[in-house]
Homo-oligomer: A and B are copies of this chain.
Amino acid sequence: MHNRALDPRCSRRSPTSHHPPDATPSPVCAGSGPFVTQPHSLVLVSATTALLTDHYELTMLQAALARGTAGRRSVFEVFARRLPGGRRYGVVGGTGRLLDALEEFRFDDDALGFLERNAVVDAPTLEWLSTYRFTGDVWGYGEGEAYFPNSPLLIVESSFAEAVVLETLALSVLNFDSAVATAASRMTTAAGDRPCIEMGSRRTHERAAVAAARAAYIAGFTTTSNLEAGRTYGVPTTGTSAHSFTLLHDSERDAFTAQVDSLGKGTTLLVDTYDVEEAVRLGVEIAGPELGAVRLDSGDLLPQAKEVRALLDSLGARDTRIVVTSDLDEHAIAALAAAPVDAYGVGTQLVTGAGSPTAGMVYKLVARADDDGTMVSVEKKSAGKVSHGGRKYALRRRDARGVAEAEVIGVGREPVDDGDDRPLLIPLVRDGEIVGREPLAAARHRHERSRAELPPTALKLSRGEPAIPTRWEDRP
């Protein structure tokens, strides 16, 4: 039961029952929880993203509206002061999700009612929010792009009022998805040509899991266990069985027979419920040499994989693959490079960013208009937190062979392309219209190319410095 006492007005909407045809519209306030339950499992919930926002953004808005400064043209920038975990590069994730979320960023009556009842902001601010629609411009690094400390990852240009309220949403999406994409990229690097399977849904928030599957796919994972990521984003899904399936049956033989009969000989059998060797023999006995794969989920994977490979070969199952899935991270994957392993299933470490669960990006005002409309660079002077004021531009400097040499950031103007460089900021929103949508495959392809042009040192898994330096080209 939610604390409805603080939210007594029910304004959830009920759906028109287009589907299924025999459902009838329910009354508006039918639900006792946050959802209106419909017959036939048709359930809808308000999807506005406008309250995925920190309280202070709206109080700042109120004060700026009252002061007459809310309309000042402003430039906000998303950047990371450092790469967490001694990473050599970061990977931008979440851009596509952010554009979707931006489109839904409207203050509907339910949201306005909440803000009013709880006196979050005053009446003029509520009035302003009621017609909110972002009408400005956004540029950003393409999704999947590698990034470095101080890379200007997102540039939001609009009135202060329109941009200030997007801080939390932009950071939440980019910080989580980029943390996962960055970890995933290191894992697919370590895996080389062997496929990586994302299977960490259970170790993170249920909706974060969907975003994690998407981010992993961008960074080179081939499939996910998460069905919602399949439905929402078209990420290929995969999976066969858990220990519970074996334990459900009277014997491992019964379980394997049931699985092979139903899912086919190409299925993956989980062989470590009891004794691995016996299970492998049993699997090949039941499925024959066409057995698709066996999965190892415990124990010392390196020697075990060798033993299982030898056993499979001795049984004639030379094409049966070996999938390993036990607490893997990029280091464990790398340590298995010499083992006869065919695929890696990665869970916890992927969705928790392999030790760096957030990318640590911030959203800072870097320029704003004066009363006469002149744009002024701004930056705070706090101890220990360096910011660089001014509208930024960026390109990746590359040598004649196309290898990245530096992240060049122009302040107030575009840096000069020396002939082999690549501009990094692409238009995402123009006059409020989303122009940067792209298929997920495009982000995946961008990542592949971006990583391929980094110097070899970028692919080291050890803690270290960013693979290329960040250079500033200030206004002359």
Question: Is A297 close to B, CB under 8 A?
Answer: yes
Is the beta-carbon distance between B203 and A55 smaller than 8 angstroms?
no
Known interface pairs A106-B43, A173-B206, A239-B59; A248-B64 also in contact (CB < 8 Å): yes
Question: Is A238 close to B, CB under 8 A?
Answer: yes
Is the beta-carbon distance between B114 and A231 smaller than 8 angstroms?
yes
Is the beta-carbon distance between A37 and B103 smaller than 8 angstroms?
yes
Q: Select A49's contact among B206, B297, B300, beta carbons within 8 Å.
A: B206
Question: Is A226 close to B, CB under 8 A?
Answer: yes
Is the beta-carbon distance between B352 and A358 smaller than 8 angstroms?
yes
Nearest 6 A/B pairs, CB to CB: A41-B106, A3-B234, A56-B239, A55-B239, A205-B208, A171-B202
| Chain B residues whose C-beta falls within 8 Å of the C-beta of A59 in the assembled complex | 239-241, 262-263
Is the beta-carbon distance between B248 and A72 smaller than 8 angstroms?
yes
| Chain B residues whose C-beta falls within 8 Å of the C-beta of A76 in the assembled complex | 244
Known interface pairs A63-B259, A357-B352; A273-B206 also in contact (CB < 8 Å): no
10 contacts across the A-B interface (CB closer than 8 A): A1-B438, A13-B18, A19-B109, A54-B202, A63-B258, A69-B254, A101-B206, A120-B230, A243-B365, A298-B385
| Chain B residues whose C-beta falls within 8 Å of the C-beta of A240 in the assembled complex | 56, 59-60
Known interface pairs A43-B108, A106-B43, A380-B274; A54-B199 also in contact (CB < 8 Å): yes
Known interface pairs A58-B227, A231-B51, A382-B297; A43-B104 also in contact (CB < 8 Å): yes
| Chain B residues whose C-beta falls within 8 Å of the C-beta of A169 in the assembled complex | 206
Q: Select A172's contact among B168, B204, B378, beta carbons within 8 Å.
A: B204
A4 to chain B, nearest CB (A): 7
Kindly identify, within residues 162 to 210 of chain A, every residue whose CB is under 8 Å from any CB belonging to chain B. Answer: 164, 167-169, 171-173, 175-177, 199, 201-210
Question: Is A472 close to B, CB under 8 A?
Answer: no
Question: Is A379 close to B, CB under 8 A?
Answer: yes
Residue among A20, A48, A122 with most chain B CB within 10 A: A48
Is the beta-carbon distance between B244 and A364 smaller than 8 angstroms?
yes
A441 to B248 alpha-carbon distance, docked (Å): 39
A441 to B6 alpha-carbon distance, docked (Å): 12
A133 to B37 alpha-carbon distance, docked (Å): 13
Is the beta-carbon distance between A209 and B172 smaller than 8 angstroms?
yes
Question: Is A437 close to B, CB under 8 A?
Answer: yes
- Per-residue CB contact flags for chain A residues 302-314 toward chain B (1 = under 8 Å, else 0) read 0000000000000
Kindly identify, within residues 201 to 257 of chain A, every residue whose CB is under 8 Å from any CB belonging to chain B. Answer: 201-211, 225-228, 230-235, 237-250, 254, 257
| Chain B residues whose C-beta falls within 8 Å of the C-beta of A431 in the assembled complex | none
Question: Is A375 close to B, CB under 8 A?
Answer: no
Question: Is A463 close to B, CB under 8 A?
Answer: no
Is the beta-carbon distance between B204 and A381 smaller than 8 angstroms?
no
Question: Is A401 close to B, CB under 8 A?
Answer: no
Known interface pairs A173-B206, A202-B168; A46-B48 also in contact (CB < 8 Å): no
Question: A27-35, A144-152, A406-414: which one contacts chain B?
Answer: A27-35
| Chain B residues whose C-beta falls within 8 Å of the C-beta of A28 in the assembled complex | 18-19
A438 to B1 alpha-carbon distance, docked (Å): 5
- Tell me the nearest residue of chain B to A107, going by C-beta: B41
Question: Is A272 close to B, CB under 8 A?
Answer: yes
- Per-residue CB contact flags for chain A residues 36-53 toward chain B (1 = under 8 Å, else 0) read 010011111111111111
Q: Select A63's contact among B60, B245, B383, beta carbons within 8 Å.
A: B245
- Tell me the nearest residue of chain B to A63, going by C-beta: B262
Residue among A52, A104, A273, A360 with most chain B CB within 10 A: A52
Is the beta-carbon distance between A247 and B379 smaller than 8 angstroms?
yes
User: Can you name 4 extra interface pairs (CB under 8 A) apart from A56-B241, A243-B364?
Assistant: A1-B96, A35-B100, A114-B231, A118-B237
Question: Is A123 close to B, CB under 8 A?
Answer: no
